[in-house]
Amino acid sequence: MNKRIRLNGVDMNCVGCCPGLWLHPQDETIRYNTLEYWIELAKLLERGLFDSLFIADVFGIYDVYGGNADAAFRNAVEFPVNDPFLVVPAMAAATRHLGFGLTGTATYEQPFSFARRVSTLDHLTRGRLAWNIVTGYLDSAAKAFGLTEQLPHDERYVKTEEFMEVVYKLWEGSWEEGSVLRDKQKRIFADPEKTHKVRHEGKYFRMEAYHLCEPSPQRTPILFQAGASSKGREFAAKHAECVFISAAHPKAAAEIVGDIRERAASRGRDPQSVQIYVGLPIVCAETDAAAQAKIEDYRRYVSAEGTLALWSGYLGVDLASCNLDEPLSSLQINGIQSFVEGFMRSDPTRHWTLRDAVDRLGVEGHKARLTGSPATVADALVGWMEESGVDGFNVSYIVNPGDLTAFVDLVVPELQRRGVYKTHYDEGTLREKLYGSGRRHLPSTHPGASYRFPRAQAAQSKGA
């Protein structure tokens, strides 16, 4: 294998990721609302030389199942959930290299204030920030923001496209290179000739403003995106630098990888510059038998009710009122379409039903899972890389911090011994760590780069 494996750790600012597993005596996610939890996690991942900690997020509550949120409350189904942005400064102060991928929902954010928040964190982390671009999928979130229901799936991407245009203008076009002087002798902090007011008037956003932050180390953060529907893949091919996918096996992942890279190439981007990560919960122990024993132990804590509540929210379908023998293909989904598509792609010859999908939930979730000794897990990771063409993995846990600690202590040394994983961090921003020294900004082939303010236009716009 020619390229080295890249890794992101995955967590969420809530109680656990698998419904019911917070009850496990070794699970510490109930400490999610303490700084100590996040600082310890960041130090652990940096010890394992992970590229970043990706923090998932959701606006709203899972109130689709049974027509209410009772199951979500009882089982802590991604609820309560705190703001992921606010834990980053503490983690950044405790680490030097680890990046931080934060989920921001473009459907419900305002681009002006969002751009400032992101730039501030890129400054405070010295260029270690990434943004996971999502559109949202819960009606409860839409109602929380004053809407009667969420926008249709494809229209959410239309709004997000406009959101991207506005934040690109702010990050890339409001302050020219060399605009910040910090000249105490001349008493000039910033050159007004090199700072520009951003104007935008579109379907969803209107704005006239300067970006409130001076250019941060990366200007635009590393752009993560996880949409795997057809619309999501097209969005990823245009905007994303790192794409997160789910697949049941390497062959299914290879189809997604090939499609996204082909779409990126058609847009004039280097297809290999789009780094693709597959999500894998990984349970490791000294032996295969010990790892399997962990899984059997974990199963005892799974909440069936919580799992159904979670998936009802993901799909936008009340599974409490559905015939579980109904074909998956017949569901009218306004939620995360890629979850159903993932099941269908995992075995196209199978006539998938809701019952089949539900049987795969719990500790399996909607992702493939790796279980075994360090050698077994390393073999599987290398196999995924070679067969699918992915660049790395989003490593998630079932019980935390035990699963991530076992991965760092057992699997990372095995991967290093095989020469397929780094033994030290490179210096620089997160983008430089991913793409090489000196590449701290978006490349010229990325659409965001087109919003950089040319010097020739600057003089013309001053009187506008």
Kindly report, residue by residue over 81-130, the tens digit of the pLDDT: 999 999 999 999 999 999 999 999 999 999 999 999 999 999 999 999 99
3-state secondary structure of 276: strand
Cα dihedral across residues 113, 85, 213, 242: positive or negative: negative
In a domain, 151, yes or no: yes
Lowest model confidence (mean pLDDT) among 209-223, 329-343, 381-395, 450-464: 450-464
The model's pLDDT over 360-369, given as tens digits with 9 standing for 90+, comes to 666 655 557 8
Domain enclosing residue 236, as ranges: 6-300+368-461
In a domain, 22, yes or no: yes
Q: How far apart are CA 103 and CA 108, in angstroms?
A: 12
Q: How far apart are CA 247 and CA 412, in angstroms?
A: 23
What pLDDT sits at residue 92?
98
pLDDT above 90: residue 138: no
The H-assigned helical ranges of 183-228 are none
In a domain, 330, yes or no: no
What pLDDT sits at residue 365?
57
Q: Distance between the two ends of the chain, CA-based, in angstroms?
A: 55
Please give the structure tokens belonging to residue 182: 């910090």
3-state secondary structure of 102: strand
Report the residue count for the chain. 464
In a domain, 407, yes or no: yes
In a domain, 307, yes or no: no
In a domain, 238, yes or no: yes
The model's pLDDT over 400-423, given as tens digits with 9 standing for 90+, comes to 999 999 999 999 999 999 999 999
pLDDT above 80: residue 424: yes
| Cβ–Cβ under 8 Å, residues 208 and 242 | no
CATH code of residue 36: 3.20.20.30
In a domain, 173, yes or no: yes
Q: Provide the number of structural domains found in the chain.
A: 1
Lowest model confidence (mean pLDDT) among 38-47, 223-232, 267-276, 449-458: 449-458
Q: Is the peptide bond before 215 cis (omega within 30 degrees of 0)?
A: no
Q: Output the CA torsion 29→34→38→39 (10° steps).
A: -140
**Look-up of token digits 């132990």:** 297
Please give the structure tokens belonging to residue 308: 């159904």
What pLDDT sits at residue 342?
61
In a domain, 352, yes or no: no
Share above pLDDT 90 across residues of the chain, in percent, rounded to a whole number: 75
| Cβ–Cβ under 8 Å, residues 6 and 277 | yes
- CA atoms within 13 A of residue 424's CA, in its CB half-sphere: 3
pLDDT above 70: residue 143: yes
Q: How far apart are CA 439 and CA 377, in angstroms?
A: 33
